[in-house]
């Protein structure tokens, strides 16, 4: 690669060094006790010395959840390999560790993504020595991609997504992204629109495949359904709606909608699940400020007949909490943040409600909307009205829930297509979906 093509990355690296105090301050809070801060500087967690490593990077908790079927398939498909799962955020780390505990496999290891300084990136790749690197969705770190390219590590972007907003931002640094994308071996795009945006930034068509969204290939929800049904039974016969993955500034709108709903249905219960654990205390105080009797799951507090809000202030239980409701609102959508995973409640057979912002799921949310499985609302009042209609019409809830599950089933298959593409980069040693992981 000539100097002119390297120049954007050199300038990018210089900017990182100049901003390093601010970057380190920002990343300082994204930490968990089980991981060393040295991981941010490329000192990878301990890995088995004799096992080849597949490296999969997921930014945060939502990406880890979405990548779970792929992780499980990789462990089954490559039984002698270690899978290193890196995350950027502490919530992603906690989700990864919950998955590790559930799997009980020493072949799944978690670490934090190193900061994208040139020397740090090279140190990380040199220490990990991956035989395959996978970036989930929109994770394009120029120096890490370059470090993989230097060591001839095949690198794939899986479940590749570029929202219109991200595309607009990336266009401002197109020369940098163009050079980075030249180092991607294969792009598995979620949709044709995503593929076209990647290509507009420099990804070549011959290295691109449109495989659909991995989010449709969800793991079995039987456990969540069983536990959710048990929790739902403890609430008694009352309307229950769930607001999952809610964000700062959104809870006020949701609590106002709930207050309006309770004027018509005084027994209505809201299960409120903020996305980030560092906000649990603030959200609890906000519920109290609305005068809504609130109990907290983390404290094992029982729901009483007068309870108005059940605060889901735990990690790793969103699916179960969705399953305890009659209908679900998916957060990050009444505020302009692009929305979160509308497929989680859809796969459980719940009617889905979203605010107007669903850019992060533009390949998924419109499918549910067109099938009559998702209701789009604009504000607290329209949300309250939608909830009231669903609460009063069991047949409508059933119809929309069935439609949601049908959409999920109809669009599955991206996992197998992803595995087929990865086969060309790293041949499998066992059948990709038909084998269980050795103990």
Query: Which residues does the annotation mark as catalytic?
Result: 63
HSE, side-chain direction, 13 A CA sphere, residue 348: 28
Distance CA 187, CA 246 (A): 31
Hey, what are 154's tokens? 């095949």
* Neighbouring-strand partners of residue 309: 270, 294
Whole-angstrom CA distances from 139 to 86, 133, 136, 370, 436 are 11, 12, 6, 30, 29
Three-class SS of residue 301?
coil
Under DSSP, the state recorded for 243 is E
Contact, 220 vs 199, CB < 8 A?
no
What residue has token string 């990789």? 74
The answer for residues whose C-beta is within 8 angstroms of residue 38's C-beta and 6 or more apart is none
Strand order in the sheet with 309-311: 294-296, 309-311, 269-274, 240-246, 327-330, 352-354, 374-376
- Given a contact cutoff of 8 angstroms between Cβ atoms, the answer to whether 240 and 324 are in contact is yes
**Distance (Å, rounded) from C-alpha 152 to C-alpha 428?**
19
User: CA-CA distance, 186 to 174, in Å (whole number)?
Assistant: 19
Distance CA 70, CA 68 (A): 5
CA 97 to chain centre: 15
Cβ pair 323, 241 in contact under 8 A: no
Closest CA to 354 of 337, 384, 332, 372: 332
Rounded to 10 deg, the angle between the 118-128 and 142-150 helix axes is: 50
């Amino acid at each position: 690669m000539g100097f002119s093509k390297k120049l954007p990355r050199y300038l990018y690296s210089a900017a990182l060094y100049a901003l390093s105090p601010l970057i380190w301050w920002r990343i300082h809070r994204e930490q968990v006790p089980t991981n060393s801060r040295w991981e941010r500087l490329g000192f990878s967690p301990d890995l088995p010395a004799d096992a080849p490593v597949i490296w999969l990077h997921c930014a945060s908790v939502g990406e880890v959840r979405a990548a779970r079927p792929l992780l499980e398939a990789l462990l089954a498909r490559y039984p002698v390999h270690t899978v290193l799962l890196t995350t950027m955020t502490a919530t992603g780390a906690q989700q990864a560790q919950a998955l590790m505990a559930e799997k009980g496999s020493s072949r799944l290891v978690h670490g934090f993504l190193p900061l994208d300084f040139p020397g740090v990136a090279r140190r990380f790749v040199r220490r990990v020595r991956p035989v395959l690197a996978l970036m989930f969705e929109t994770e394009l770190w120029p120096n890490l991609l370059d470090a993989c390219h230097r060591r001839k590590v095949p690198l794939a972007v899986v479940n590749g997504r570029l929202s219109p907003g991200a595309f607009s931002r990336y266009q401002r640094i197109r020369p940098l992204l163009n050079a980075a994308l030249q180092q991607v071996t294969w792009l598995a795009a979620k949709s044709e629109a995503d593929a076209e945006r990647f290509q507009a930034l420099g990804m070549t068509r011959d290295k691109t495949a449109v495989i659909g969204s991995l989010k449709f290939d969800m793991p079995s929800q039987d456990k969540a359904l069983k536990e959710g049904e048990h929790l739902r039974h403890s609430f008694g016969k009352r309307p229950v709606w769930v607001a999952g993955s809610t964000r700062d500034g959104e809870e006020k709108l949701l609590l106002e909608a709930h207050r309006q709903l309770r004027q018509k249905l005084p027994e209505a219960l809201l299960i409120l699940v903020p996305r980030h654990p560092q906000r649990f205390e603030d959200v609890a105080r906000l519920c109290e400020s609305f005068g809504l009797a609130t109990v907290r799951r983390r404290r094992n507090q029982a729901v009483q007949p007068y309870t108005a809000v059940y605060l889901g202030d735990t990690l790793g239980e969103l699916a179960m909490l969705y399953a305890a409701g009659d209908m679900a609102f998916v957060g990050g959508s009444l505020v302009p943040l692009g929305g979160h995973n509308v497929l989680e409640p859809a796969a459980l057979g719940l009617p889905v409600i979203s605010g107007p912002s669903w850019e992060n799921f533009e390949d998924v949310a419109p499918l549910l909307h067109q099938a009559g499985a998702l209701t789009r609302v604009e504000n607290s009042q329209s949300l309250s009205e939608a909830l009231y209609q669903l609460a009063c019409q069991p047949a409508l809830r059933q119809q929309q829930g069935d439609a949601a599950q049908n959409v999920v089933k109809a669009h599955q298959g991206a996992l197998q297509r992803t595995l087929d593409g990865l086969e060309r980069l790293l041949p499998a040693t066992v059948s990709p979906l038909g084998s269980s992981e050795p103990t």
